[in-house]
Amino acid sequence: MKGRYLRPAATGAALSLTLATLAGCGTVSGLTGDNEVTLRVVAADYGDNPQNSSAGYWKNLASSFEKDNPGVHVEVSVYSWSEVDAKVAAMVKAGKAPDIAQIGAYADYAEAGKLYTADELLSVTTEADFLAPLADAGKVKRVQYGMPFVASTRLLFYNTKLLGDAGIIPKDGSTPWQPKSWADIEAAAKKLKAANVPTPFALPLGREEAQAETMMWLLAGGGGYTDNEEAYSIDSAENVKSLEFLRDKMVGQQLTGPVEPAKLDRQAAFDAFTRGEVGMLNGHPTLLKQAAGKGVKFGMVAMPTIDGTDHSTMGVADWVMAFKNGHKKESGKFLDHLFSAKNVTTFTNQYDLLPVTTSGYRAMAGSTGGSAAQLKTFLTALPSARLYPVGKKSWAGVSEDVKQNIGKTVAPGGQPAKVLEEIAVAARKADGER
């Protein structure tokens, strides 16, 4: 899952950790005794500064695992999202793959025969605990290799003050906004523009997360990247119509602000929202704390659809995988520990993300403290959400193609049908489809 659909800002520099130096309880790889095993784990950082780095979570997780499993040592390296996938790829290429990696994609490694399957690693209880759509998204040719780590869904955020001032909702916020169709979004954006709101609707189709923003609109338009048989349908008539709406009704009527969508990244849009400059935008749970921290009053609703009828919503997940390094038993034990209800909820609560397991889902659904009430709105959509086609080895390339080109489709004079066809042809070729 390259991009910012789940994760907060990358920290920039790599935060390389070994428990030998941080906790004094680990050992350097290669210096363990004859009956000892060292697991090398690489993970991504979900923090946006050194103080809330994921390094602390992994340190505590590994320490508690080592305590219960004498003779198994764990070395964890935590890197920013801007480099973690490349780090793992370089390790694999050099013949030094980690035992476990928590990164953005798994399918290419599975296709190359480098990963253990989930049922080779996990206890029956752990394997059965994954939410069904997330477990299915972790499969290649109906076999699960990718284990979901954390998940997220998306909602439409709106600034209650700006909508109140524009006459869209009562100024006192007594009645929430309840848009159902894209016509409702267009009408509200026009009122916000008339009220001199700098960006009525932020449409981030810049490189950071264009593939996510695009997928939200495609699904709400009755389409998507794939059809019901999971074959690519990028150039479908529904998808073309969705992008034409954005080109003609949103960008064409100057309702998307001063920065053209192709140059607007997700975090830049979030920052503008927290400054009170954006009326509406699609967002993930990370925006909850960012907006609240700046004192912005906001509401959240399900993404309206093209015609007001229900369509699939988007979900996203990051992945854990175990490489075939001869440590299947030890890796499996560590993953069972990682996916325990306690450890799942510890991580999701820290970063306002969604659990990937039924036990974690129930724990969050029953919680009342902190931002639990707001997160439940995201949580409700998770069991039936559609995810990126990450089980396709071609997805990483398709995602990059979307990032580079989709912004052109909504610019004045853009050609959605032509661009989508070009992306689709390349996608089908890469995936071996006709």
How far, in Å, CA of 63 to CA of 406, rounded? 45
102: left (phi over 0), alpha (psi -120 to 50) or beta: beta
Write down the pLDDT at residue 25. 37
Q: Which domains does the chain have, with CATH numbers?
A: 19-151+317-384 (3.40.190.10), 155-312+394-431 (3.40.190.10)
**Residue 370: which pLDDT band, with cuts at 50, 70 and 90?**
low
What percent of the chain is modeled with pLDDT above 70?
Answer: 91
pLDDT in tens, 340-354: 999 998 998 888 888
Write down the pLDDT at residue 351. 86
What percent of the chain is modeled with pLDDT above 90?
Answer: 67
Structure tokens at 377: 């709105």
DSSP run (H or E) holding 199 = strand 199-201
How large is the average pLDDT for residues 241-258? Answer: 98
How far, in Å, CA of 330 to CA of 365, rounded? 32
| Closest to 426 (Cα-Cα) out of 409, 405, 401 | 401
Q: Residue count of the chain, please give it.
A: 434
Contact partners, residue 321, CB within 8 Å, separation at least 6 = 100, 101, 103, 106, 109, 110, 115, 145, 146, 147
Matching residue, tokens 């009220």: 195
Write down the pLDDT at residue 371. 65
How large is the average pLDDT for residues 150-165? Answer: 95
How far, in Å, CA of 284 to CA of 141, rounded? 30
| Closest to 168 (Cα-Cα) out of 187, 143, 149 | 187
15-29, 78-92, 101-115, 283-297: range with lowest mean pLDDT: 15-29
| Closest to 157 (Cα-Cα) out of 300, 4, 314, 353 | 300
pLDDT in tens, 381-426: 887 788 999 888 888 889 999 999 999 999 999 999 999 999 999 9
pLDDT in tens, 85-113: 889 999 999 999 999 999 988 998 999 99
Q: Kindly list the distances between the CA atom of residue 304 and the CA atoms of 143, 178, 234, 281, 324, in Å, as whole numbers in the listed order.
A: 34, 9, 21, 12, 44
